[in-house]
């Protein structure tokens, strides 16, 4: 038989020196304990995380290091005793008296002598926990604000035909996430039958023109009650000008007089934009047409006027709260519809020479 190839030789397990190096240089804290909670050893990272010397950590033991007021410790200890391993987050007490949130990963093992030991790895996740808590509180405040103001947001992922609702919109419809069909057809089923065609046509036109829209329709709640909703939405396009998403805000205006005061602050900007679009539409209707060419949409007229004011695509996008790719698509359509070779020519043909 031929000699065994070197690649066929089983990999050699790291020796004690390698494990010692890992123990001493690990960025995570490592504690070795015995069943009664005494700490036998703590690596440098554990000392740094807990801001204590190894001797102090060993003297305090597991009970002295854990924050006894944190109720998360008890089930973690029970899980470790039951399964031999556990992972979770709980508070520990540093040497300066401050409490920190620590991700704990522990496993029970047996020495060659038969003695039981526990290897516990700790990682300071105080900042992460604080960020998660702040995000959770923000979401709770947003949900409460939406509930009080009777508004909700939604988004339609066009390529995936995936619709997502905010908690506020679920509240308006009286639905749970389990009862919700996250497709466009599923959303249309919640529209009053006589209003479905109008909703469908408004969305179709907005996607075709890559424009914003305002729409009112009647919605059927889960309990059968009918509510009137006002939707304001915007089509988002990719770099190639293809529509990829529709985002919107829905407002329950059934009790408009009661909701008006609560909604005044949150809807001010949307109301201003709606009024500006209406004014532009009226001006466009009074201006001469562009011959046999297709007329510019209200959004395209709005973009052209800002071009005339000297704004770049980036500045126009910020002014109109649009994606820059959307602004560039509208400029391209303006040049095509006006048969212009550049922006200045399009401005002159539609708006006339500068005064």
Q: What DSSP element (H or E) covers 346? A: helix 343-351
Angle at Cα 164 formed by Cα 159 and Cα 166, nearest 5°?
Answer: 155
Distance CA 106, CA 120 (A): 4
Q: In the chain, what is the straight-line distance between the N-terminal and C-terminal CA atoms, in Å?
A: 97
Q: What is the pLDDT of residues 21-48, one digit of tens each?
A: 888 888 999 999 988 889 999 999 999 9
Q: What is the pLDDT of residues 213-262, one digit of tens each?
A: 998 999 999 999 999 998 899 999 999 999 999 999 888 888 763 445 45
Contact 237, 210 (CB under 8 A): yes
Q: Give the CATH number, domain containing residue 53.
A: 3.30.450.20
User: Do residues 72 and 178 both lie within one domain?
Assistant: no
Task: Determine the structural domain holding residue 327 and report its residue range.
Answer: 287-355
User: Do residues 117 and 33 both lie within one domain?
Assistant: yes
What lies within 8 Å, CB to CB, of 334 at 6+ separation is: 296, 300, 303, 304, 340, 346, 350
User: Do residues 143 and 174 both lie within one domain?
Assistant: yes
Give the number of domains in the chain: 3
Burial of 40 (0-12, 13-18, 19+ CB in 10 A): exposed
User: Do residues 133 and 245 both lie within one domain?
Assistant: yes
Contact 234, 246 (CB under 8 A): yes
pTM over 0.95: no
Confidence check: pLDDT of 132 > 70: yes
Distance CA 325, CA 69 (A): 53
User: Do residues 115 and 45 both lie within one domain?
Assistant: yes
The answer to whether residue 30 sits within a structural domain is yes
Q: Give the CATH number, domain containing residue 320.
A: 1.10.10.10
Confidence check: pLDDT of 95 > 50: yes
Instruction: Give the closest residue to 304 by CA, choosing from 282, 333, 279.
Output: 333
Instruction: Give the closest residue to 333 by CA, choosing from 343, 323, 324, 319.
Output: 343
User: Do residues 104 and 222 both lie within one domain?
Assistant: no
User: Do residues 212 and 296 both lie within one domain?
Assistant: no
The answer to whether residue 279 sits within a structural domain is no
The answer to whether residue 276 sits within a structural domain is no
Contact 99, 91 (CB under 8 A): yes
User: Do residues 300 and 355 both lie within one domain?
Assistant: yes
């Amino acid at each position: 038989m031929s000699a065994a190839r070197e690649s066929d030789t089983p990999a050699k397990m790291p020796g004690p020196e390698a494990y010692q190096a890992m123990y001493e240089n690990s960025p995570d804290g490592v504690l070795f304990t015995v069943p009664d909670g005494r700490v036998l050893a703590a690596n440098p990272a554990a000392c740094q995380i807990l801001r204590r010397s190894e001797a102090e950590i060993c003297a305090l033991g597991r009970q002295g290091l854990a924050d006894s007021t944190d109720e998360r410790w008890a089930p973690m200890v029970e899980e470790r005793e039951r399964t031999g391993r556990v992972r979770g987050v709980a508070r520990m007490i540093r040497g300066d008296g401050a409490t920190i949130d620590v991700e704990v990963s522990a496993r029970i093992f047996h020495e060659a002598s038969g003695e039981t030991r526990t290897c516990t790895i700790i990682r300071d996740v105080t900042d992460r926990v604080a960020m998660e808590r702040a995000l959770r509180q923000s979401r709770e405040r947003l949900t409460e604000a939406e509930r009080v103001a009777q508004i909700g947001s939604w988004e339609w992922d066009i390529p995936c035909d995936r619709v997502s609702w905010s908690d506020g919109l679920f509240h308006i419809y009286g639905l749970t996430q389990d009862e919700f069909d996250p497709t466009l057809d599923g959303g249309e089923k919640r529209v009053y039958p006589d209003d479905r065609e109008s909703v469908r046509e408004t969305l179709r036109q907005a996607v075709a023109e890559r424009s914003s829209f305002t729409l009112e329709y009647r919605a059927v709640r889960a309990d059968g009650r009918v509510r009137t909703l006002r939707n304001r939405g915007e089509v988002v396009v990719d770099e190639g000008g293809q529509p990829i998403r529709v985002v919107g805000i829905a407002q329950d205006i059934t009790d408009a007089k009661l909701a008006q005061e609560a909604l005044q602050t949150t809807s001010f900007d949307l109301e201003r934009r709606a009024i500006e679009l209406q004014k532009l539409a009226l001006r466009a209707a009074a201006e001469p047409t562009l011959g046999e060419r297709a007329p510019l949409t209200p959004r395209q007229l709005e973009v052209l006027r800002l071009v005339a004011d000297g704004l770049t695509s980036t500045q126009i996008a910020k002014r109109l709260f649009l994606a820059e790719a959307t602004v560039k698509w509208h400029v391209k359509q303006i040049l095509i519809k006006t048969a212009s070779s550049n922006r200045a020519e399009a401005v002159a043909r539609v708006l006339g020479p500068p005064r």
